[in-house]
């Protein structure tokens, strides 16, 4: 297992990759729409008050006869897009957005956790130096025990070799 700093760096790399993938998905699979509505056409307006209500009713009737059913409006027109850039349906796009956001939040929480458990965040420099001294002493003791165990192993190997040598004669 990697140390915490390596884990933190890996998480930052993964977060950057997730940001890139999210932006790419959103830019490729959104349904295109105008940022601002087109300005109203003045050619259809009649400034005469008596005719304006009739024109409004006529335009409402004309627009309603050209409207598409709701199921056809939900599906974006995919024939004008290359296969990798076809927009998703609004429900699919919304659920994908939610999933991408949850993934980003999960990764940021993981990063926050790794930062919180880093040594030294709550310890002063003196405490850290004291801990390093303790660990150094423990390491020296462990190395001494290992050296003694290796010497003992060598003694036992010599004894076993002598016994095996005595049996062969």
Tens digit of each residue's pLDDT (9 = 90 or more) over 7-58:
999 999 999 999 999 999 888 888 776 567 666 766 555 444 444 444 444 4
| Tokens matching residue 100 | 């991408």
119 in helix, strand or coil? coil
For 65, 109, 112, the CA distances from 115, given in Å and listed in that order, are 61, 10, 5
Question: What pLDDT shows up at residue 75?
Answer: 45
Query: For residue 76, how many other CB atoms are within 10 A of its CB?
Result: 19
- With beta carbons less than 8 A apart as the criterion, state whether 107 and 20 touch: no
Query: Which is nearest to 113 in space by CA: 8, 6, 2?
Result: 8
CA distance 86 to 95: 16
- pLDDT at position 42, please? 63
Residue 48, φ and ψ in degrees, nearest 5: -85, 125
Q: What is the average pLDDT across 53-76?
A: 42
pLDDT band at 136; cut points 50, 70, 90: very high
pLDDT band at 63 (very low <50, low <70, confident <90, very high): very low
Model confidence, pTM: 0.47
**Percent of the chain, pLDDT > 90?**
40
Residues sharing a CB contact under 8 Å with residue 100, sequence separation 6 or more, in sequence order:
18, 21, 22, 25, 26
Specify the pLDDT at position 73: 42
Instruction: Read off the pLDDT band of 121 (50, 70, 90).
Output: low
Measured distance between the N- and C-terminal CA atoms of the chain, rounded to whole angstroms:
52
Task: Look at residue 41 in the predicted model and tell me its pLDDT.
Answer: 66
């Amino acid at each position: 297992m990697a140390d915490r700093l390596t884990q933190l760096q890996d998480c930052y790399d993964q977060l950057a990759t997730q940001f890139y993938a999210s932006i790419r998905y959103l830019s490729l699979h959104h349904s295109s729409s105008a940022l601002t509505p087109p300005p109203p056409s003045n050619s259809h307006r009649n400034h005469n008050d008596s005719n304006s209500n009739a024109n409004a009713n006529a335009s409402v009737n004309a627009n309603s006869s050209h409207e598409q059913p709701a199921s056809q409006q939900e599906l974006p027109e995919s024939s004008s897009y290359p296969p990798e850039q076809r927009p998703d349906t609004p429900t699919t796009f919304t659920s994908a957005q939610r999933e991408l956001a949850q993934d980003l939040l999960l990764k940021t929480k993981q990063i926050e956790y790794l930062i919180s458990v880093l040594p030294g965040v709550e310890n002063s420099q003196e405490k850290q130096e004291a801990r390093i001294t303790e660990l150094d002493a423990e390491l020296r003791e462990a190395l001494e025990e290992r050296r003694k165990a290796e010497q003992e192993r060598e003694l036992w190997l010599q004894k076993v070799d002598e016994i095996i040598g005595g049996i062969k004669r």
